[in-house]
Amino acid sequence: MTDKEIKKLQKKINQLKKQAEEYLNGWKRAKADYINREREIEKEKAEWIKFANKDLVLQLLPVLDSLNQSLDHIPKDIGESEWVKGVAQIKIQFEKFLQGQGIEKIKTVGEIFNPEYHEVIGKGEAGEKSKENVIVQEVQTGYMMHNKVIRTAKVIIN
């Protein structure tokens, strides 16, 4: 073999090595992309599972609101009856069920208004020393599910 042929073969070997390296790097990138996508899918699945009951919970919240309102308006003459205590116990069970689903109430009265958590539906009368945008009354309870707002609290501020 001549030097010219050897140089030509060496050049071809170098080209093939470069090409093989490019293919290997491309394969490594594709594999890394695939692994990252698998991780994303797992996170998305976990998120879906976490919030799978969100629609059901949103349909149950008005029932809890009605239960709370009924307990707030119990006539005094039956306030200590066993029936009323039983209904109050049902409310507690309902709230524990919601807590088990990752549901928690949004704090309102005395808190500073935050549009992420609260919806202002009115303004109350501000006292002389009261701060601006402090919530003075809760009209409808707001809820969060796994630290995400699913229903804003309807409030009155001063």
Q: What is the pLDDT of residue 129?
A: 62
pTM recorded for the entire structure = 0.73
Q: What is the pLDDT of residues 44-79, one digit of tens each?
A: 999 999 999 999 999 999 999 999 999 999 998 888
Q: pLDDT band for 125, please (50, 70, 90 cuts).
A: confident
What fold, for 54-157? Nucleotide Exchange Factor Grpe; Chain A, domain 2 (2.30.22)
Q: What is the pLDDT of residues 6-41, one digit of tens each?
A: 999 999 999 999 999 999 999 999 999 999 999 999
Contact 146, 54 (CB under 8 A): no
SS3 146: coil
Instruction: Give Cα separations from 66 to 70, 88, 91, 140 (angstroms).
Output: 6, 12, 10, 11
What does the domain layout of the chain look like in residue ranges?
1-50, 54-157
Q: What is the mean pLDDT of the chain?
A: 93
Q: What is the pLDDT of residue 92?
A: 96
